[in-house]
Structure 1
């Protein structure tokens, strides 16, 4: 083994042992925090102390709640869904044979916002489909119900 290889090997060993020590310390701190013991780290702020959490835990929970809230925009009302169904039906009648992505682009909406109204339109027999999965094309139904 050359001198350069020995130096590289020594640096890798030092790095690995330092990393191992940090991982153990983090695991120990997590256990202490779970048990409610003081970790000997930075002092808690007054607000976090009243809640019984460290500042980092409080901020982590707030960040997690924000992420969760941003994923769920809320339930749409039946009026909004019916409005979207009417808009979708109009697009399908004017230009049949489009994919859901093309319909979404024409409406200025996202495809995930169209899935429920599309299912309802199909269940009511107002539209029919041809193809499967991403190759699905939408057409007005031949046996349309009278309005």
Structure 2
């Protein structure tokens, strides 16, 4: 991984210490890290995937709505945050790599450095019960 700003290094350390699943990307949306709690949902360790471009991670877990219709990457909260530099929120289903269909709720936010530098974005998510 190329050298990252201190804020992203600290964000990764913060995410690594959480029991809540989280996902960290750079300003272009390239995956930098997801934590152990996210690994249990995705069914794959970060060490096995490493970094991924936004086009890969936004589709690899097959995000769908409640009726099974695919969700385009641009409608995912983290992708919205990357493009708008604003927080986003949403719920949808993913297919884990273990074959489980899981309903998750996601909150994402930009990581802003001084002065107004967008350094990346982070998403935190959790399993939710079907509506």
Answer 1 or 2: which has greater helix percent: 1
Look at both structures and tell me which one has the larger radius of gyration over its CA atoms. 1
Higher RCO by CA contacts (8 Å cutoff, separation 6 or greater): 2
Answer 1 or 2: which has greater strand percent: 2
TM-score normalised per structure 1: 0.22
TM-score normalised per structure 2: 0.24
